[in-house]
Structure 1
Amino acid sequence: MSDQTEIAVVDELVARARAAQAGYADGATQERYDRAAQAAAWAIMEPARNAEMAELAVRTTGLGNVKDKILKNHRKTLGLMRDLSKAKTCGVIEEEATTGITKIARPIGVVGAVVPSTNPVATPANNIINALKCGNAIILSPSPKGVEACTRLLGYIHAEFDKMGVSRDLVQMIPPPGTKARTQRLLETADLVIVTGSQDNVRRAYSSGTPAIGVGAGNATVIVDETADTRDAAQKIAASKTFDNATSCSSENAVIVVDSVYDEFVAALAEFGGATVSPALEPQIVERLWPGGKLNRNALAKDADVLIDTLQLHDHVDAGTRFIAVPTSGVGKSYPLSGEKLSLVLALYRASDFDSAKELAGRLLAHQGAGHSVGLHSRDDARAVGLGRDLPTCRVIVNQAHCFATGGAFNNGLPFSLSMGCGSWGGNSIDENLHWKHFLNITKVVRETDPDEPSVDQIFQDYWAEAGK
């Protein structure tokens, strides 16, 4: 297919989306936006459809497991809808009495969203719901492996739209086969681009000339210090690491344990299915996890039995093993275990004390995952603040299962999301979880107020007292 034909395919989608969005926003009410968002949310949350799409996603991508995808689709969407139920996104949303400023929510227009194969249902649904809540149309560009699941999701959304008289053209996707040319055209012609997944796609989005929000690479690093409840930490780390076979960018990739509780923690990890193998097996595991220098697809987000078979570890782990912890010490390109693994393999580091653990966490983030998140299992909250003050990270997750907490949870204050901004450290334009405010323009009506002009003396008197004029 010629480049011009590829461009025409996308241009037709964008033209239909623009027409649908104009009608959607014309005379809009908050109720209209809310109902459309609810329609999209119910399309994924209805139990039978959720289960069907989870099974389809695992079967077609080969990533994750059905049970956890069902839970993810449900809880992530339910949490998002909780957040959105409190959000005003249409018309006047705020009157500031002290400044005289009135804030008016305005749609962005057509959102282009590039979504990954790791979450081919939950991530696009999250983007769709946010876009609709804010009065936008949206066009998805799914990964090749995620096309079938994404197509099924859109089919269910359109069926719900038909009940409500909502235009199907508000939610579309680039038809298969997906190509770089089609995705590039979407990046160039949308009004806003949201990219989750491939860092190559994130860079292309930022260079497309369209306002873009991309998210950085994960490589979640967690510290267990000498004050931690090691059993509680092990249970939470095991639950998080094994969830959906570690497809999440927030799944623990490295755990750094302070020496005085190392043996206690390893014993607790075994209680919850974490097999800590001999350090002598590291070369074998690295060779089989990255044959030819590329992550082995037979290990990528696969069930534990498949992983154990791929790594040939049957003689080294017990029956019932849920994930593998590999003791290691190296950091950097020559040490693949220090990076993101997207598998049920955990790099296990040992540190002499908390300060050494903190320094090691900084080196791991500098290698990969800067800006994303770190975790701390500790009874010393001041240490969590210290990590947030000193490390290149946008989130410090304290005494929680990392992958459940980082994207928002019912027991913490982060907004529900599947896309985590990593700030300037991760090369991103946002440092927070992607949420509804990123899908809006806000117009300010500015009125005259009483003057508030200080004298030069008021501004500089403290400086002059110290430094002189």
Structure 2
Amino acid sequence: MNVRATVAETAKAPADEAVGQRVAALVARAREAQRAFEFAGQVALDTAAAAAAWAIMEPSRNRQLAELSVRDTGLGNVDDKFRKNWRKTLGLLRDLKGQKTCGVIASDPAKGIIEIARAVGVVAAVTPSTNPAATPANKIINALKCGNAVIVAPSPKGHSSCELLISFIHAEFAKAGLDPALVQCLPAPISKAATGALMQQADLVVATGSQSNVRMAYASGTPAFGVGAGNVASIVERSADLHDAAQKIALSKAFDNATSCSSENSVVIEDAVYDEMLSQLRSCGGALLDPAQKVQLQAVMWSGGKLSEHCTAKSAAQIAQAAGLEEVAGQGPRFLMVEETGFGADYPFSGEKLSPVLTVYRARDFADAADVIRRIYAYMGAGHSVGLHTARTDFAVELGERLPVARVIVNQAHCLATGGNFDNGLPFSLSMGCGTWGRNNFSGNLDFHHYLNVTRVAYPIAEEMPEVDALLGDYFGRVGR
């Protein structure tokens, strides 16, 4: 008998029970507030969503959140966090404006159907350290718009930013006469036990971040939306405007030190334009490493097969310095580039890097480029999205029909476009579903529709039963009865 193990298990059980009780108290407060809020009417729901939005968008508070996020997580940079907090929230407000999320939302007299929007209840919002203010704000605003209460389970490093954000939200709530219990945060220290207890006790889980958290959400027994792993790749097809493509890829790769799951990790360039495209990427601040430098970089970026936190979301110059590449670091690169031919665990540059490091593949032609993407995603990133730079926009539909991706982003800066932008029609979101390819139960951008139940009232209509031949006549004509 392992006495020490038994003692440890005995000590752990009361601790977990105490955590569960503390979480239960938060959920009880949230549930009481939500029951009243759900039926307060559309104006009240819109007011709450607007209050949460302004809490992060107001410039002085936004700056505080951006600075605290970078200070406490060590990820990204302040100016890009500031822009992300503003743009993603502004875009979400645009998407939500005029949307009816309570009462009757649709009526079809011909079918005798009336649809009624209903809240889901208490939402558990699991959020990552990469966006410790923008992602919680996005989920909070969507939840409130639909009449829900929300409790955030931030990453341990992101707790301070989330706590500050919620204090700003409560200040706005006080002005609007709203119950602060509608928006809460798990208290520090954040633990898996507390996050798990919240998942089990909530009515809906929306999980963004590590795959372990997503798997825990799906296994919690509570209805859940979780996202897949990122590892975005983009194709540069021979007809592309190479200067434009390079500028957009560089912007996407360098934004917030590549904290976004939508930032390109690889670019696949057709052979006919390979050298010219590399030249364009260099002119946009990319530093191409030679094979020996690539080995040095790999040694510092991965330890025991895992990404090193010393490189994650750091600047290209910091990463080069850490790898002993002083000459490269001295050039002040915007991002680093390495050439690759392989795929899988033995070729770690083929995976997600969460840093301004771009892997470059050469392809014979467009068909070969698509095959390279397929092999990358067989290792990591299936279901997320693919970028395409081309003048042949019909190629995008071909990729959408054949690759395991939920989004094809055409001639855009990928990390800005995938989660919605002001120059495309995708919903603004920081949580992208990856479909069954990415082990997710949805393939769109997580938006307010995912925070609603819909009740349908069915009235009787005149019976209209079709003849069998009207439905199967074409089949009978092709194969017989």
TM-score, normalized by the shorter chain, greater than 0.5: yes
Can you list the C-alpha shifts for 1:225-282, whole angstroms capped at 9, x where unaligned?
A: 1000111000000001000000000000000000110111111111110111223433
CA distance in 2, matches of 1:162, 1:242: 39
Q: Which stretch shifts more, 66-75 or 275-284? A: 275-284
CA distance in 2, matches of 1:279, 1:31: 61
Equivalent of 1:239 in 251, 255, 258? 251
Q: Which stretch shifts more, 313-322 or 255-264? A: 313-322
Shift of 1:352: 1.0
Does residue 299 of structure 2 align to residue 287 of structure 1? Answer: yes
CA distance in 2, matches of 1:300, 1:31: 42
Shift of 1:354: 0.9
Letter of the structure 2 residue corresponding to residue 6 of structure 1: V
Give me the CA root mean square deviation: 1.1
Instruction: Look up the match of 2:22.
Output: 9
Shift of 1:186: 0.7
CA distance in 1, matches of 2:64, 2:179: 25
Instruction: Look up the match of 2:45.
Output: 33
Can you list the C-alpha shifts for 1:362-399, whole angstroms capped at 9, x where unaligned?
A: 11111111000000000111111000000000000000
User: Is the 8 Å Cα contact of residues 317 and 329 (structure 2) preserved in structure 1?
Assistant: no
Can you list the C-alpha shifts for 1:100-144, whole angstroms capped at 9, x where unaligned?
A: 211111000000011000000000000000000000000010100
Tell me how many residue pairs correspond in the alignment: 468
User: Is the 8 Å Cα contact of residues 118 and 455 (structure 2) preserved in structure 1?
Assistant: yes
Equivalent of 1:392 in 400, 404, 414? 404
Does residue 419 of structure 2 align to residue 407 of structure 1? Answer: yes
Instruction: Look up the match of 1:92.
Output: 104
Does residue 94 of structure 2 align to residue 82 of structure 1? Answer: yes
TM alignment of 1:123-142, pairs within 5 A: 123-142=135-154
CA distance in 1, matches of 2:357, 2:127: 24
Letter of the structure 1 residue corresponding to residue 316 of structure 2: A
TM alignment of 1:299-378, pairs within 5 A: 299-316=311-328, 319-378=331-390
Does residue 462 of structure 2 align to residue 450 of structure 1? Answer: yes
Identity across matched positions, percent: 56
CA distance in 2, matches of 1:111, 1:384: 36
Report SS of the residue matched to 1:2.
helix
Q: Which stretch shifts more, 90-99 or 247-256? A: 90-99
User: Is the 8 Å Cα contact of residues 321 and 329 (structure 2) preserved in structure 1?
Assistant: no
User: Is the 8 Å Cα contact of residues 254 and 346 (structure 1) preserved in structure 2?
Assistant: yes
Can you list the C-alpha shifts for 1:181-220, whole angstroms capped at 9, x where unaligned?
A: 1111111110000000010111111111100000001000
CA distance in 2, matches of 1:287, 1:174: 37
Shift of 1:90: 1.3
CA distance in 1, matches of 2:67, 2:279: 34
TM-score by length of 2: 0.96
TM alignment of 1:246-265, pairs within 5 A: 246-265=258-277
Instruction: Look up the match of 1:154.
Output: 166
CA distance in 1, matches of 2:257, 2:377: 22
CA distance in 1, matches of 2:166, 2:395: 45
Instruction: Look up the match of 2:36.
Output: 23
Report SS of the residue matched to 1:441.
strand
User: Is the 8 Å Cα contact of residues 275 and 318 (structure 1) preserved in structure 2?
Assistant: no
User: Is the 8 Å Cα contact of residues 33 and 135 (structure 1) preserved in structure 2?
Assistant: yes
Instruction: Look up the match of 1:459.
Output: 471
Report SS of the residue matched to 1:223.
strand
Q: Which runs of 4+ in 1 moved over 3 A?
A: none
CA distance in 2, matches of 1:47, 1:336: 40
CA distance in 2, matches of 1:4, 1:31: 40
Give 5+ residue unaligned stretches, structure 2: 1-13
User: Is the 8 Å Cα contact of residues 230 and 380 (structure 2) preserved in structure 1?
Assistant: yes
Does residue 425 of structure 2 align to residue 431 of structure 1? Answer: no
Report SS of the residue matched to 2:383.
coil
Letter of the structure 1 residue corresponding to residue 448 of structure 2: W
CA distance in 2, matches of 1:468, 1:154: 66
CA distance in 2, matches of 1:100, 1:437: 22
TM alignment of 1:151-190, pairs within 5 A: 151-190=163-202
CA distance in 2, matches of 1:351, 1:281: 23
